């Protein structure tokens, strides 16, 4: 069990960021109920990760509760390259150029970490960035460049995820960066490793060959993972329903059923299950959750998820401590309901065994 917080079985996993990574905020976030801190190896520097680990261990000792560390490897995830000062603002109608190889960054010109197949692209094909928060339309495609028009704009930062449906070439196996990040994470003494875009049992074997003593969580973010779900459940120590990327790779209306299937299969085989992405998306700005978010969290707990993970809500949202407090409250209430249902079911079964058959016997 991942949770060490008194009175709660479902673990809370949280990502640190510019606000929550400060020492005072970190202490408040951990006291509010975080069980596992996620280190995103695709973002931040190694010096920042090492400093965060030192602070987490010190605060964990101060509050008298062990907090686990999760190193999240970027795996096959396609990402944006660098932007000037790490960020840009793309407005509808503006032109953005994506390159197949690293180039000198400009506000509207950068690259992607994986290439695309230009013959599969037609004018108007979509490029989805940051789980679809930014949408580009391709106007011209070659093997070296994609020229795009912004359809749905907003702020964008270096390293955001990129999806080009049906056209991205993603290499198999553990890339050199992941192997290097994994060695670094082991040196930090992390407790768990998550692998983005896990697709087969071979991915688990590749991680375990480098880190045989680590618990490894496979992130389900692609149709290939769903197609090989039974073998993934057997191979990995647990699976994460990474709904952000999954919802741009498959129809979004299919994601809830995929989530239920993954959680159920993990429970049936004694594996950990984690539900992630947009659990409290509105609370990046608001101090209160939406009613839909509360229902989403409760249903994940009732379905049997072992852990819930927040990313942007605590990574760069305005109210990281409040986010954890809300998540804790909803989880505790959902767990109580689940227990009530289980007890009622047990009573009904017991009653069926002990009550006499009123229709039997002599007439």
Q: Give residue-wise pLDDT tens across range 265-321.
A: 999 999 999 999 999 999 999 999 999 999 999 999 999 999 999 999 999 899 999
Predicted confidence at residue 63, as pLDDT, reads: 94
Of the candidates 315, 300, 310, the residue with the CA atom closest to the CA atom of residue 266: 300
Residue of 25, 58, 14 whose CA lies nearest to 321: 25
CA 19 remoteness from chain centre:
19
Residue 61: pLDDT band (50, 70, 90) is: very high
Distance of CA 22 to the CA centre of its chain: 22
Q: Could you tell me the pLDDT band of residue 137, with boundaries at 50, 70 and 90? A: very high
3-state secondary structure the chain: CCCCCCCCCCEEEEECCCCCCCHHHHHHHHHHCCCEEEEECCCCCHHHHHHHHHHHHHHHHHHCCCCEEEEEECCCCCEECCCHHHEEEECCCCEEEEECCCCCCECCEEEECCCECHHHCCCCCEEEECCCCEEEEEEEECCCEEEEEEEECEEEECCCEEECCCCECCCCCCCHHHHHHHHHHHHHCCCEEEECCCCCHHHHHHHHHHCCCCEEEEEECCHHHHHCHHHHHHHCCEEEEEHHHHHHHCCHHHHHHHHHHHHHHHHHCCCEEEEECCCCHHHHCCCCCCHHHHHHHHHHHHHCCCEEEECHHHHCCCCHHHHHHHHHHHHHHHHHHHHHHHHHHHHHHHHHHHCCCCCCCCC
Mean pLDDT calculated for residue range 24-36: 96
Structural domains present in the chain: 11-76+174-345 (3.20.20.60), 84-163 (2.40.33.10)
Q: Round to whole Å and give the CA distance between 323 and 176.
A: 35
Top mean-pLDDT range of 50-59, 75-84, 347-356: 50-59
192 vs 185: CA distance, rounded Å: 9
Residue 363 has pLDDT above 50, yes or no: no
359 pLDDT band, cuts 50/70/90, is very low
What is the Cα 221 distance to its own chain's centre?
A: 9
pLDDT digits over 76-135, tens only? 778 899 999 999 999 999 999 999 999 998 999 999 988 898 988 888 899 999 888 999
Q: What is the pLDDT of residues 223-241, one digit of tens each?
A: 889 999 999 999 999 999 9
Q: How far is CA 242 from the centre of its chain?
A: 4
**What is the reported pLDDT for 171?**
64
The per-residue pLDDT for 172 is 65
Q: How far apart (Å, rounded) are the C-alpha atoms in residues 271 and 260?
A: 14
Q: Report pLDDT digits (tens) over 166-218.
A: 787 656 668 888 999 999 999 999 999 999 889 889 999 999 999 999 999 99
In the sheet with 134-141, reading across from the earlier edge strand, the strands are 109-111, 95-99, 145-152, 134-141, 126-129, 162-163
What is the structure's pLDDT at 335?
A: 97
pLDDT-based confidence at residue 344 (cuts at 50, 70, 90) = confident
pLDDT value at residue 353: 64
| Number of other CB atoms surrounding residue 303 within 10 Å | 18
């Amino acid at each position: 069990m991942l949770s060490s917080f008194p009175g709660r079985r479902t673990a809370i996993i949280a990502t640190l960021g510019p606000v929550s990574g400060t020492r005072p905020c970190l202490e408040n976030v951990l006291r509010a109920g975080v069980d596992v801190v996620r280190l995103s190896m695709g973002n931040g520097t190694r010096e920042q990760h090492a400093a965060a680990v030192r602070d987490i261990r010190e605060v964990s000792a101060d509050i008298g509760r062990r907090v686990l560390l999760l190193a999240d490897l970027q795996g096959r995830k396609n990402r944006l390259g660098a932007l000037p000062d790490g960020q840009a603002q793309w407005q509808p109608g503006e032109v953005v150029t994506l390159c197949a190889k690293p180039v000198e960054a400009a506000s509207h010109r950068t690259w992607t970490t994986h290439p695309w197949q230009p013959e599969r692209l037609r004018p108007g094909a979509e490029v989805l960035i940051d789980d679809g928060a930014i949408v580009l339309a391709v106007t011209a495609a070659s093997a070296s460049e994609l020229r795009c028009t912004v359809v749905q704009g907003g702020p964008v930062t270096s390293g955001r995820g990129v999806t080009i449906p049906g056209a991205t070439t993603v290499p198999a196996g553990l890339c050199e960066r992941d192997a290097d990040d994994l060695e670094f994470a082991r040196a930090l003494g992390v407790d768990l490793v998550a692998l983005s875009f896990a697709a087969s049992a071979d991915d688990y074997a590749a991680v375990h060959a480098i880190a045989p003593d680590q618990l490894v969580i496979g992130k389900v973010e692609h149709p290939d993972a769903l197609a090989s779900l039974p073998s993934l459940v057997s191979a990995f120590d647990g699976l994460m329903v990474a709904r952000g990327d999954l919802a741009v790779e498959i129809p979004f209306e299919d994601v809830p059923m995929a989530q239920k299937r993954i959680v159920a299969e993990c429970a049936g085989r004694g594996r950990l299950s984690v539900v992630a992405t947009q659990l409290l998306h509105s609370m990046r700005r608001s101090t209160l959750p939406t009613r839909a978010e509360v229902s989403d969290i409760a249903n994940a707990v009732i379905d049997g998820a072992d852990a819930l993970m927040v990313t942007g809500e605590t990574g760069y949202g305005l109210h990281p401590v409040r986010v954890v407090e809300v998540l804790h409250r909803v989880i505790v209430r959902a767990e109580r309901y689940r227990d009530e249902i289980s007890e009622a079911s047990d009573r009904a079964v017991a009653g069926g065994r002990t009550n006499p058959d009123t229709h039997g016997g002599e007439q």
